[in-house]
Every structure is written in structure tokens, then in C-alpha cells.
A and B are shown apart, each in its own frame.
Chain A
Amino acid sequence: MKERYDVIVVGAGPGGSMTAKTAAKEGLDVLLIEKRQQIGDPVRCAEGVNKVYLKEYIEPDPAWISAEVKGSKVYSPDGTMVEMSEELSGAEVGYVLERKVFDRALAREAALAGVEVMVKTRATGLLMEDGFVKGIKAEYMGKQYEIMADIVVGADGIESKVGRWAGIDTTLKPRDMCTCAQYLMTNIDIDPDFCKFYLGNKIAPVGYVWIFPKGRNTANVGIGITGHMSGEVRALELLDEFINKHYPDGKKIEMVVGGVPVCGSIARTVSNGLMLVGDAARQSDPVTGGGIFNSMWAGDIAGKVAANAIRRSDVSAESLQEYEKKWRVELGRDLDMGMVVKERFTRMTDDELNTLAHSLEGVDLGSTTLIGLVWALFKANKKLLWDLRSIFIGIKEIESEVKKEVYT
């Protein structure tokens, strides 16, 4: 470890490793620290990711692909199934990863790009000077260190402290986080080609159960419920109930728990000498909770912006607005649209969810376009589409159809 670097990245998940790798490729001197002794373990993820998106950032390797799926099947509370193609299923359907291997592969790529990596090293605070972040305080093997850097990137996950230390309030309200539990189960009968989602306020209040295949007779079976529904019942108990009913002979070979930010875009993700990436920046999808690709995408931008800022010798919040602006233009908009969908769906009763599913029965969503899907939904659920109209702004065909239908 040196006394100073151009960039220090806190947290070696997909967002952190991607930031570090990109920054190093841009010629910066980068330190990546991870508080755990093992990168990628324990897993806190359902491990689903869209393969088309992922391929933009890493060459697929069978070593970290547990399964490849064709699409998703969504079950309404009365058991009505809606099948969706991979394209319509969004950012968390395509590959089911082996995160323990995947995260290490990304960290390895960062290391091979020149990044210095330290595990079992925890950031305990920031070094501040004249309102600028100037590095981190860290703990490694019982000793305290002060490490300087022009830019610190907080990629420290849902439990992020880096942002808070820099004065960015990232505290989540219970309704803005999803509390989750999952088992890796085997000896269960699964459909290896599809990710399955079960909806219903009894099964998973303001949330869903997922089944993501991971090879023969094996799958991640998990549940996420919104934090404000937790307390009287908990994610783990509800998951056990579901499993007792659906997979009485299943065997649990791993337990995973975790929280996911579902708050939509936060007000600020940069400060003087600081950027936040991934779950630390609350960049996960508020509807699905998916965040692997979002983090990598944002991390890549953060790495490039770090290099630009250092080149122009200006790491002020104003200079780092480049990151803020870039990620908000695309991802920020998606997160905000997601919030509109989430707010509407969380108010739906089981009967409404059933009605919605019935309206899609017989529609071949394997071949339909987004517009086709919206149209099918629309014919049966005008009120719902009206409530969601703001997310279609800019999609001309849908916008005009919505207006036509509502005003006539």
C-alpha cells in the first residue's frame, strides 16, 4: 500500500471493480479496498442479470454463469401465469450468475488493469481538507492507516457509509428498501429455461418471490418484501412458508439475506473529491431490485469521469457533475419511471393483480414488442395505464394512443 493514489475505490462489488478497472485503464493510479476477506462472498443477491447488457462490459465466461434463461414467468396470486420474453423481462433476466466467481473475475480484471487490491481492509472514515475529500482512514489487520487520494469512490453497497461521511444522506426509509431472504435449493423440480416470479400480498406483501434456476434441480428461491411490511412477519418466515408449500422435498444448501435499495434516484451522488456508485448511490431498479448491470454501467462512467477530472486538475463537486449528469440522463430516468410503476403496483390488491394477469392471458408476450404489451394491458386496464402514463412520455406511439383512448 502506498501513501497516496489518484483514486481510492471503497468496495469490490461489480460497481467498485468496474470503476477501478476503468480508472486504471484511463491511466490512473488506483487502490480498490474490500472489507471482507473474500471478494464476492457471502453473496447478497438473487444473481439474475440481463445478458445483452452484461456483454457490453465483460466477456461471458462459463465459470461464472450458472444458467441461461429464455425469459420469465410471472404468477399472479390466483396462479395465472404471464410469460415474458427475455427482452421484455428487464435487467435481471438472462443469465443467472455465480456471484462468488463473477465478483472475483471482475476484481481480477481490475487487478490485471493495474489496480492495487486490498481485502480485509475497511474504510473507517474520510480525510477531509477545506471541504474536499482527500482520502480515507482505513483499518487493516488491527492497524489504522491514512491513505490519500484525489478522488474517493464509495461503492460500499447498501450499508454505505462513505456518502454519509461526505454529507450525502443516503439513509433509507423502510418503504425505500426491500428486505430479502433466499435459499440456494436443490432437489426441486424447476423449469431450467425460465426465471419465475410469484406476486401476491399473502405470499410476499409489497414484494415478490423469485425462483432463478442454477442448473439441474437447483435454484435460488428467494423473497423480497418492502421494509415497511416487515416486523410482524419477516422475509425469512414468509420464504419458509412458500417453500413448505411449493417445495416440501427441497433441500437448502445455502442461506442468503440482504437488503436492496428501492428508493429511486437520490438527490446527489457527488461531492468535492467524491463519487458514489451502485447500491451506495441507490442505483438499483426500484421495481425489480436488480442492480448488477446498473452498478457496472455507472462504475464505468465514474472511472472515466475520474480520469477527466484529474486531467483538468479539478475534482470539485462541480467538475464531478459530469458523472452526475451522465448517469442521470439514462439510468436516472429509468429509476424515476420505475418509481412510478412501483408506487402504482404497491397499491394493488390481489384481485387487481389477478385481473391484470387475466387481461394478458393468451397474449403471446414472447414475440410482442413493448408497445404490443402496453396495448394488451391497455385494453383491459385503462385506469392503470392512465396512472402510469408519465412513464410513456417520449414514446410517441404509446403517448398518442393513451391520449386518444382516454379522451374519447
Chain B
Amino acid sequence: MTVSVERSKCGYCGACVSVCPTGALELMETWIEVSESCNDCRICVKICPVGALEVCR
């Protein structure tokens, strides 16, 4: 499992990147990239100020 980012909601602020324990997230200019090292901890999903991250199934 991994997380997906709803781009129409994402404000590309990087808050999620700062809490990711595996460094799986990276803020590019206007979007977030999720790498394979995502361990599905969901911390990013919880802290996103706008709720742009979701767990993929």
C-alpha cells in the first residue's frame, strides 16, 4: 500500500514531507512525489492541512 495525493486539493506546502519517517515524500515545485519507501504509516494523511492525501488500496 502507499498514499496518493489528490492534486486538485494539494497546496504543495511540504508539511507531509516533514513528518514522513521513511523519506518517501518529496515536494517538487507544485506537486508531491511518493516513492516506494512509503510504509503506509499514514502520518502524512493525518497532518495534511487540506486533506489531500489518501491511502491507496
A170: B residues at CB distance < 8 A: 18
Query: What is the bound-complex CA distance between A140 and B19, given in angstroms?
Result: 26
Residue-wise, chain B 38-57 has the 8 Å CB interface mask toward A (1 for contact) of: 00000101111111000000
Asked whether any CB of chain A lies closer than 8 Å to the CB of B20, the reply is yes
Residues of B within 8 A of A227 (CB): 19, 46-47
Considering the complex, give the chain A residue whose CB is closest to the CB of B26: A161
Contacts across chains A and B counted by CB atoms under 8 Å: 92
Taking a contact as CB atoms under 8 Å apart, the answer to whether A236 and B50 are in contact is: yes
The answer, yes or no, to whether A179 is at the interface (CB within 8 Å) is yes
In the complex, what's the smallest C-beta–C-beta distance from B12 to chain A, in angstroms? 8
The minimal Cβ–Cβ distance linking B27 to chain A, given in whole angstroms, is 5
**Residues 2-57 (chain B) with a chain A CB within 8 angstroms:** 11-21, 23, 26-29, 43, 45-51
Of A103-111, A141-149, A253-261, A307-315, the one contacting chain B is A253-261
Contact B21 A259 (CB under 8 A): no
Chosen A-B contacts, 11 in total, with CB atoms closer than 8 Å, are: A35-B27, A35-B28, A157-B14, A159-B26, A164-B23, A177-B18, A227-B47, A234-B48, A258-B14, A259-B13, A259-B15
CA distance A181 to B49 in the complex (A): 6
Contacting pair A36 B15 (CB below 8 A): no
Binding site for B on A (CB under 8 A): 35-37, 42, 44, 120, 122, 157-161, 164, 170-174, 177, 179-181, 227, 230-231, 234-236, 255-259, 261
Asked whether B49 lies within 8 Å of A160 as measured between CB atoms, the reply is no
Which B residues lie within 8 Å of A180 (CB)? 15, 49
B residues less than 8 Å from A157 (CB atoms): 14
Collect the chain B residues with CB atoms within 8 Å of residue A36's CB. Answer: 29
Given A35-B29, A159-B14, residue A172 in contact with residue B49 (CB < 8 A): no
Chain B residue with minimal CB distance to A174? B47
Measured CB to CB, the closest approach of chain B to A160, in angstroms, equals 7
Residues of A within 8 A of B16 (CB): 259
Tell me, in angstroms, the Cα distance from A385 to B11 when the chains sit together. Answer: 40
Q: How far is the CB of B30 from chain A (nearest CB, A)?
A: 9
- In the A-B complex, list the 4 residue pairs whose CB atoms are closest, starting with the nearest: A259-B15, A159-B14, A257-B11, A159-B17
Contacting residues, chain B, for A179 (C-beta < 8 A)? 15, 47-49
Q: Let me know if A257 and B46 touch, CB within 8 A.
A: no
Most buried by B among A231, A255, A261: A231
B interface residue count range (under 10 / 10 to 19 / 20 to 34 / 35 or more)? 20 to 34
How far, in Å, is B21 (CB) from chain A's closest CB? Answer: 5
* Distance, CA A43 to CA B52, complexed state (A): 19
Docked-complex contact A158 and B15, CB < 8 angstroms: yes
A166–B29 alpha-carbon span in the complex (Å): 23
In the bound complex, do residue B29 and residue A158 qualify as a contact, i.e. CB atoms below 8 Å apart?
no
Q: Which residues of B have CB within 8 Å of A257?
A: 11, 13, 15, 49-50
CA distance A95 to B46 in the complex (A): 33
Bound Cα distance from A259 to B25, whole angstroms: 15
The reply to whether B29 and A37 form a contact with Cβ atoms under 8 Å apart is: yes
Which chain A residues border B21 with CB–CB below 8 Å?
Answer: 171
User: Which of chain A's residues has its CB closest to B23's CB?
Assistant: A164
Residues of A within 8 A of B26 (CB): 159, 161
Chain A, Cβ-Cβ closest to B32: A159
A236→B23 contact, CB < 8 A: no
Partner of B14, one of A120, A158, A231, A234: A158
C-alpha spacing A231/B4, complex, angstroms:
16
**Which of chain A's residues have a CB closer than 8 A to the CB of B19?**
171-174, 177, 227, 259
A173-B18 Cα distance, complex, nearest whole Å: 9
Q: Given A35-B29, A257-B13, are A172 and B51 also a contact pair (CB < 8 Å)?
A: no
When C-beta atoms are compared, the residue in chain A nearest to B9 turns out to be: A236
Question: Contacts of B47 on A, CB cut-off 8 Å?
Answer: 174, 177, 179, 227, 230-231, 259
